[in-house]
Structure 1
Amino acid sequence: MKKKPDFLIIGAMKCATSTLHEQLALQPDIFMTELKEPNFFSNDEQYQKGIEWYLSHFESASDNYLCGESSTHYTKLPTYPQTVSRIQTYLPNAKFIYVMRHPLDRLISQYVHEWSQRVIDININEAIYQYPELINYSKYTMQLLPYFEAFGQHRVLPIFFERLLKYPQIELEKICKFIDYPHQPQWQTIDALNVSTERMRRSEWRDILVEAPILKQIRRNFIPQNFRNRIKSLWTMKEKPQLKSENIKYLKSIFNEDLELLGYWLGIELNCDEFQKKIVNEKKVDWQNQNYQDSQ
């Protein structure tokens, strides 16, 4: 029988899922796919490759290993509407880890990413009205509900970016307990991944010049570092995007409604202004199962 994943890190985008993926991969007897975002259940072009293609990413895992993968596209409604039903077909017993962060911070980080990929070319204050995914991917209850309905709330573990930063070992232990990892995990010191403020805009011709072996050697040997840094800065976002006060108010009105329900599920009061304090200072942040049932 081919090895299947035991758990999926399903998002959210720009919430340290790459770091969590790497941390789990470093633990003995846990196998994480080398391809960090297979996006098999979300993207039609990947799904059409077939289940055998997907399972091939777990072929090198030993029989006793817990297996997982990380695809933030799995919580990108309404962009990928068939994700949950596809997972239900092939992985009916899977567990899910969902990482969240302050919705405004997540939105800004996504904007920087999309800017670097040349998906978005306009100011963030215009983008929030023209690119609804910036808001939708921060509406956590909208993304979670289909998983609750298909798999049950108890099969989804809520994790928060802010707690990962402050209590990395405690949060890793919580995750490993959830996936039934039989050993004591250890958070490792690794280089930060996907640092948005350091992102450069994609440029095909620049990348060809930069990566060409001969040109790379010439550049390193004959072009001063300070000159190279000035050239690099031409493609780098200089300052963190700033939302106008009226747009912050608009976004908070949307996110506070979502956070109120999320907080109800967690048994705490949540809103944008209190998010950081509430999430970091709570001794335990987990679902209050009856609350989800009561909200239906």
Structure 2
Amino acid sequence: MSLPDFLIIGAMKCGTTTLQAQLVAQQGVFMTTPKEPNFFSDDDVFARGMGWYGDLFRKARPGDLKGEASTHYTKRPTHPHVLDRLRPHCPSLRLVYMIRNPIDRAVSHYIHEWSEGRMNSDPVAEFARHPQMVDYGRYAYQIAPWIDAYGADAVLLTSLEQLKADPQAELSRVARHIGLTGPVAWQADLGAQNVSAERVRRIPFQDLLIYNPLATRLRRALVPKSVRNAIRDLRKIRTRPELPADLRRRLQARFMADRDDLARIFPDHPALDLCYPFARADHG
């Protein structure tokens, strides 16, 4: 059975889709379709069996480094069984964990849920109802079990901020970590992937009204493209939500405590400054 050599394990809304697209564009790298199988995290997917998972890598060429990118793998406590399921099958892996400013990540997560119609327009109420939106950005809490399971040398910590600041250098660093020996080149034409500002809010019966093939043909035949685009734009989030000051302060306090833990795991890592600008304010 063909199994992965490396995993991108999150975090959600931190640029993993962009990184995955860049790795796929490199010679000698194979990554799964779908991008996020979430096999070891989601009970219904895991129930499909290891044969199903192995088939995701079947089209890899001999010598390819094989990987997948499932952000559910670092979503404690929502998915608590990932490592128990993974370790027996993949005892040796290279791991990439991508983070970003945790406040920005939480806002992007909220936009994602809003666009899916799962949350309303009141962020204070939604953060109170859904503590996982904070937990997924507690990066030390999420990565610590992976360090225990695979060792610190197996985990590369990177960040969206580092990828934006020097994309070629950071892609090269990731490539070296996963074992890619050939040259790598950042593909600027790919752009950023899965951008929150481009997300469109779902509507009731969306699959029936929009993605149904007959509805699609009728819409394209009867409604001018300019009108269709205007309607779609109305369903995009127009401005990035601003968190109320008291909520922001509470979140920063939670994330600062986790940052201290992250600094003990990855001392002097550049992400500690790049991803936590509010830490400088607290200390200054």
Instruction: Please indicate, yes or no, whether the TM-score normalized by the shorter chain is above 0.5.
Output: yes
Alignment match, 2:123 = 124
Higher mean C-alpha deviation, range 237-246 or range 214-223: 214-223
CA RMSD of aligned residues (A): 2.1
| Conserved 8 A contact 1:15-1:161 | yes
In the TM superposition, residue 119 of structure 1 has moved relative to its aligned partner by 2.0
State whether structure 2 residue 71 is matched by structure 1 residue 67.
no
Partner of 2:201 in structure 1?
Answer: 201
Q: Distance in 1 between matches of 2:4 and 2:159?
A: 22
Tell me the distance in 1 between the aligned counterparts of 2:65 and 2:46: 23
Question: Could you tell me how far apart the structure 2 residues matched to 1:275 and 1:208 are?
Answer: 47
What is the CA distance between 1:234 and its match in structure 2?
4.0
CA drift of 1:3 comes to 1.6
* Paired residues of 2:10 and 2:99 also in contact (CA < 8 A): yes
> Deviation at 1:153?
0.9
TM-score, length-scaled by structure 1:
0.87
Which residue of structure 1 lines up, in the alignment, with residue 236 of structure 2? 236
Mapped to 1, the partners of 2:115 and 2:231 lie a distance apart of 16
Other-structure match for 1:227? 227
Rounded to whole Å, the distance in 1 between the matches of 2:226 and 2:91 is 54
Greater shift in the superposed pair: 256-265 or 220-229: 220-229
Aligned-residue identity in percent: 36
Q: Shift of residue 128 of structure 1?
A: 1.3
Kept in 2: contact 1:141–1:261 (CA 8 A): yes
Give the conservation status (yes or no) of the 8 Å contact 1:162–1:276.
no
| Runs of 5+ consecutive residues of structure 2 not aligned to the other structure | none
Is there any run of 5+ residues in structure 1 with no aligned partner, and where? 278-296
User: Using a 3 Å threshold, how does the CA distance of structure 1 residues 213 and 118 change in structure 2: closer, same or farther?
Assistant: closer
Matches within 5 A, 1:212-223: 212-213=212-213, 215-216=215-216, 219-220=219-220, 223=223
SS in 1 for 2:77: coil
1:95 and 1:208, CA in 2 relative to 1: closer, same or farther beyond 3 A? same
- C-alpha deviation, 1:134, in angstroms: 0.5
My pick for the range that moved more, 60-69 or 226-235, is 226-235
Alignment partner of 2:38: what SS? coil
- SS of residue in 2 equivalent to 1:115: helix
TM-score normalised to the size of structure 2? 0.90
Alignment of 1:98-137 (within 5 A): 98-137=97-136
Q: CA 1:113/1:51 → structure 2, altered by over 3 Å: closer, same or farther?
A: same
Deviation at 1:116, TM superposition (A): 1.1
- Letter matched to residue 126 of structure 1: A
What aligned pairs does 1:79-98 form with structure 2 within 5 A after superposition? 79-98=78-97
Give 3-state SS (helix, strand or coil) of 1:96's partner: strand
* Residue range with higher mean Cα deviation, 71-80 or 196-205: 196-205
Q: Distance in 2 between matches of 1:3 and 1:202?
A: 37
Identify if the C-alpha distance between structure 1 residues 205 and 234 changes in structure 2 by more than 3 Å, giving closer, same or farther: farther
Q: How many residues align?
A: 276
Q: Which residue of 1 aligns with 2:10?
A: 11
CA distance in 2, matches of 1:169, 1:224: 41
